[in-house]
A and B are shown apart, each in its own frame.
Chain A
Amino acid sequence: MRLSLLVLPLALAATAALAHGPTPQKVSQSISIKASPDAVWKAAGDFAGIGKWHPAIGKAEGSGSKDGGTRTLTFKNGGKLEESLDEYKPEGRTYSYRMGEPNLTALPVSSYSATFTVSPEGAGSKVEWMGRFYRGDTGNEPPENLSDEAGKAAMNAYFSEGLKGLKAAVEGGKSK
């Protein structure tokens, strides 16, 4: 079923929210930070604290850094996404979460799940942010802006810009 771009967001709201298509794609970004894993985790381990270091996020509010915890992200471009934690493991400095309802303005994807991990690397840390997502248009003739390629570009940019923001916040010693 082909829909014009204007109608698509309404159609997504009306039909199955949280739906994805049959072909997932990978996203994976990492960065090295000159700080101890504990120092990095102090900044990044607060699930709803992402608003303090991610340049694309205007505001983030959350219900807690624990299994089942949620956060609502308000992007600077106006889009909003809610995410929920599947597993929060502070002893491993890692957490896994999944997207709630899609918002194509925030990110041109219909669904994703992701994992964020801080590991020791030499004298500092390595942060890895990786996941699985499905493109914005789940049918098999997506428009270019909701295609797999568009999704990959957006998700990779979102993760890499976030990691750069985290690095600046931790190494610079102050939040953005």
Chain B
Amino acid sequence: MIRPALVALFLAPALAGLPVRAATVYVASQQGAQVTRVEAGAVVGHATVAEAPATVAAGGGSVFLSHPDGHAITVTDAATGVVLRRLPYRGQAFGLAASADGRTLFVADWSGHRVDRLSAADGTVEASAETGRDPAHITLDRAGRLYVADRESHQISVFETERMTRLATISVGTAPFALALSPDERRLYVGNVRSNDLTVIDTQALKPLTTVPVGPMPYGVSVSPDGARVLVTNQQAGTVTVLDAGTLAIAATVGVGRYPEGIVIEDGRAYVANWFSDSVSVLDLATLKEVARLPVAEGPRSLAVAAAAKEILR
């Protein structure tokens, strides 16, 4: 359910007859300490940030980066890449999720085994919850529920974010790392890095439905906007597995670069961060072929899409 204020914010430019901006894909390069902006399959800009960013998340016109070894979170302007401020963080910040209005940030503390809700303005910790061991990636749904992949507890922790209380603990495969919601948010897909499989969770019942094999070390998961396909990056094989979301049958395996990690889908294309190759593979979802490989700064791992105004209008 989209908040009325947010709808007005996005409708205003269109109603005023202004051109609606295309969505931007942000790629965070860990060793290169840069964020690269990609639009419609091409690099449009990049910005240097503080050392060793791991995860990138977008919300409300801001782009956020976690620095696990730097006790900080960088906040940049989504349009220009300019660093606006750095939020201090006492723990080992890894997984990030931002509210749609960009005012609230959720941060998973890897070695602190917790997830914090921060004010994106100054980093004040508003509320906290204990997770399982080694929380990796996290994702927020429109109802304000937060899902956390507890990598060494082999489970997903689910929290409501008003008071950060635990709603459920869901067993998955071995070493869950990345996770993605279907567009209707009724399904959560979780990649299990050590059991080389994908767990599908019913988010209404908050229970696992099934687990299916994928390639070795599934470090990234993304779902197509029509909900029809689930894409999984297989780090040890340098491939992406494309599954039919309905049958969970494997529709294709696409070769990408070396040691791929994160994957996002935007406007008919999948973008895959090839961590070892220092590039981003662009896959055409209609043909399931790699159509471009974009050079980026060293060690790209994580990608995020800034929701475009045109998406809200659909």
Contact = CB atoms under 8 A, between A and B. Distances in A.
Given A86-B237, A96-B237, A138-B111, A22 B94 contact: yes
A163 B182 CA distance: 46
Contacts of A21: 68, 92, 110-111
23 contacts: A16-B133, A16-B134, A18-B175, A18-B194, A21-B92, A22-B136, A23-B30, A24-B30, A25-B31, A26-B31, A28-B276, A86-B216, A87-B216, A87-B236, A98-B236, A113-B236, A113-B259, A115-B236, A115-B258, A132-B235, A140-B71, A140-B91, A140-B92
Chain B contact patch, size range: 20 to 34
Interface in A37-63: none
Nearest to A16: B152
A140 B69 contact: yes
B217 A98 contact: yes
B69 to A, nearest CB: 5
A1 interface: yes
A130 interface: yes
A139 interface: yes
A11 B136 CA distance: 21
A24 B275 CA distance: 10
Interface string A51-95: 000000000000000000000000000000000001100000000
B237 A23 contact: no
A23 B136 CA distance: 11
Chain A contact patch, size range: 20 to 34
B115 to A, nearest CB: 14
A112 to B, nearest CB: 11
Contacts of B117: none
A120 B235 CA distance: 25
Contact of A87 (B30, B133, B194, B237): B237
Given A18-B194, A22-B54, A24-B275, A96 B216 contact: yes
A19 interface: yes
Contacts of B236: 86-87, 96, 98, 113, 115
Contacts of B194: 18
Contacts of A96: 216, 236-237
B237 A132 contact: no
A132 B216 CA distance: 14
A132 B259 contact: yes
A140 B68 contact: yes
Nearest to A137: B111
A19 B237 contact: no
A23 B54 contact: yes
A23 B69 contact: yes
B216 A19 contact: no
B299 interface: yes
Contacts of B259: 113, 132
A26 B71 contact: no
Contacts of A87: 216, 236-237
A132 B276 contact: yes
Interface string A106-130: 0000000101000000000000001
B217 A22 contact: no
A28 B277 CA distance: 12
Nearest to A27: B276
Interface in B27-48: 30-31
Interface string A138-156: 1110000000000000000
Interface string B91-133: 1101000000000000000110000000000000000000001
A15 B153 CA distance: 11
Interface in B128-183: 133-134, 136, 151-152, 175
A21 B299 CA distance: 16
A22 B54 CA distance: 8
B235 A113 contact: yes
B297 interface: no
B63 interface: no
Contact of A132 (B68, B110, B275): B275
Which 5 residue pairs are nearest across A and B when measured between Cβ atoms?
A: A16-B152, A86-B216, A22-B68, A22-B94, A86-B236
